[in-house]
Amino acid sequence: MKLIFLLLLGQITPIVVKAVDTPYDAGGSITVTWELDSTWLGKIGRIEIYRYSSAGVSDSLVETLYKPDTIYVDNATEDNIPYFYGVVVYADGEIFGEGRTTEPAVSSQQWFNRKRLSVLIILLVYTIFLMYFIMRARFDKNLFIRKIAGLEAIDEAVGRSTEMGRPILYVMGLGYISDIPTVASLAILKRVAFKAAEYNAQVIVPCFDPIVMVAAQETVREGFIEAGRPDLYNESDIYYLTSDQFGYAAGVDGIMVRQKPGAVFLQGYFFAEALILAETGHSIGAIQISGTTAVTQLPFFIASTDYTLIGEEMYAASAYLSRDPLSLGTIKGEDYIKMILAIIILLGALMETFSIGNHILRDFFSIF
């Protein structure tokens, strides 16, 4: 009401204000925009935004901005109620300009986020590729997978450790079960447990997270059962240490120097403790096979351990080790996508170079 009164006095510059439902959201939000003359920019002290739900209801101040912005997102609206907005610009403590919406804005929820269309397309294409190769794998059982040095070395490491009469230490890192590398690590653990059972060797798994511990117990037991030696399985070899990063590192270091494992596996997600574990493992003369998707820790594993599964190699490991045709099929699908992406990158670079297509590829891959 105050606004209308002031406008009637005719001393203030009118401002064009627009309000629309914020697109692609879960409702409860209206975006208000207005125009400011560029000559005002230095003078503006504050901008007040008012909201009134319908005629007759008094307006309420929803936000004060202290910068010459021209957009405000009101995240406190109720859906399906028409709102009007008013914007008042102050300069030197005086009202300088004022405006209000002429059309009501109604916020609502949307069923599809169009901004993520390209993500959806990419995901669909990828999934279709994977599905196709999973289907094909049912018939084509002899898929070739190149040698992955770190995985080839698993059997040898377990064997040599057993010959020396030493246990095997398997470290799953700091990942939770909700991290994909941890699930990948379990697949490798199963192979290690299987081999260890064959050789009658002890597998020690100190854990950082209790659920990972449970999953590791199940996995090792399964490995021992598959090797036909369930009698050798000892659940107390797979135990929880602590969920403190360096407390865990201190504890695992202690296990290394006292139990002197012949083979150390560092597989999973790691942070700065990676090098502490790898160097201690080296100092006791164990064969070490590491693997992680933590890009920042890869250099240290490369430097300090005998074999390293680099990033994606870890994910390929489960398929590689299980030799399950369906899993191998997904690897094939992954490779095709890789080739296609390489071509797309080259194509995108060439289109940028020669200014062809008006950045169509680049825009397709922008998510914001």
Partner 1 sequence: MTSIIWTWIAAFFTLAILSFLYKDNPLYKFAEHVYVGSSAAFTILYVWVFDAYPKLVMGFREKVGMQKYLLIIPLILSLFIILRFIKPLSWLSRWSIAFTVGMAAGLGITGLTQGFLVPQVQASFLPLFVQGPTTGQTILLTFNNIIIVFGTIFTILYFYFSREHKGLLGVSSKIGVTILMITFGASFGYTIMARISLLIQRVYFLLHNWLGLV
Partner 2 sequence: MKKEIPLAITFISGVLLVLALFIPHKPFGNLEEIFNDWYIIVSGFTFLLGIDSLLGYNFGKLKRKEKDAPYALVLILSFFITLTWGIVEIVRTPEHNPFGPTSTFSLYFYNSIFIPLQATMFAILSFFIASAAYRAFRAKEINSALLLVSAVLVMLGRIPLGQSAAPYVITVIFLIFAVYFFAESAGVTEPKIKIAYILVALIFVALIYPLGFVYFRQHIPEFADWIMNVPQMAGKRGIMIGIALGGIAMSIRIILGIERTYMK
Partner 3 sequence: MIELLKKLAGIDRRFIYAAVFLATAIPILTKATMKVEPLPEVRKAYEYIESLPESSVVMVSIDYDAASMPELQPMLEAFLHHSFSKNLRVIMLGHWPLGLPLGQQALEKVAGQYNKEYGVDYVFLGYRPGVAAVIINLGKDFRTVFSSDYAYTPIDSLPLMREVSNYKNVKLLLGLEAGAVGDAWVQYGYARYNLPIILGSTAVSTPDYYPYMQANQVISVIGGLRGAADYETLLGITGEASIGMLPQSVIHLVIIAFIIIGNIGFLVLRRAKK
Q: What is the DSSP string of 195-221?
A: HHHHHT--EEEEESSHHHHHHHHHHHH
Q: Is 129 in the site for partner 1 (CB under 8 A)?
A: no
x/- string (CB under 8 A) for partner 2, residues 296-315? --x-x-xxx-----xxx-xx
Considering CB distances under 5 to 8 angstroms, the limit depending on partner class, which of partner 2, partner 1, partner 3, none binds residue 367?
partner 1
Report whether 169 contacts 255 (CB < 8 A): yes
Coil, helix or strand for 13?
A: strand
Q: Which two tokens stand for residue 67?
A: 């910068």
With a CB cutoff of 8 Å and minimum separation 6, the contacts of 120 are none
> How many other C-beta atoms lie within 10 A of the C-beta of residue 358?
9
In the bound state with partner 1, the residue whose beta carbon lies nearer, of 16 and 211, is 211
Considering CB distances under 5 to 8 angstroms, the limit depending on partner class, which of partner 2, partner 1, partner 3, none binds residue 197?
none
**H-helix or E-strand containing 132?**
helix 117-137
Q: Is 345 in the site for partner 1 (CB under 8 A)?
A: yes
In the bound state with partner 2, the residue whose beta carbon lies nearer, of 44 and 321, is 321
Q: Is 244 in the site for partner 1 (CB under 8 A)?
A: yes
Minimum distance of partner 1 from residue 28's CB (angstroms): 15
Minimum distance of partner 2 from residue 337's CB (angstroms): 6
Minimum distance of partner 3 from residue 314's CB (angstroms): 24
CA dihedral 185→186→192→193, nearest 10 degrees, is: 160
Tally of helices (H runs) and strands (E runs) in the chain: 11, 14
Report whether 287 contacts 149 (CB < 8 A): no
Of 83, 15, 18, 87, nearest to 49 by C-alpha is 87
Q: Is 4 in the site for partner 1 (CB under 8 A)?
A: no
Residues between 266 and 325 with contacts to partner 1, criterion CB under 8 A: 272, 295-296, 298-300, 302-303, 310-313, 316, 320
Report whether 73 contacts 31 (CB < 8 A): yes
Residues that bind partner 3 (CB under 8 A): 63, 65-67, 69, 283
Query: Which residues of this protein are in contact with partner 1, per CB under 8 A?
Result: 116, 118-119, 122-123, 143-146, 148, 176-180, 182-183, 211, 214-215, 240-244, 246-248, 250-251, 253-254, 257-258, 272, 295-296, 298-300, 302-303, 310-313, 316, 320, 331-332, 334-335, 338-339, 341-342, 344-346, 348-353, 361-362, 365-367
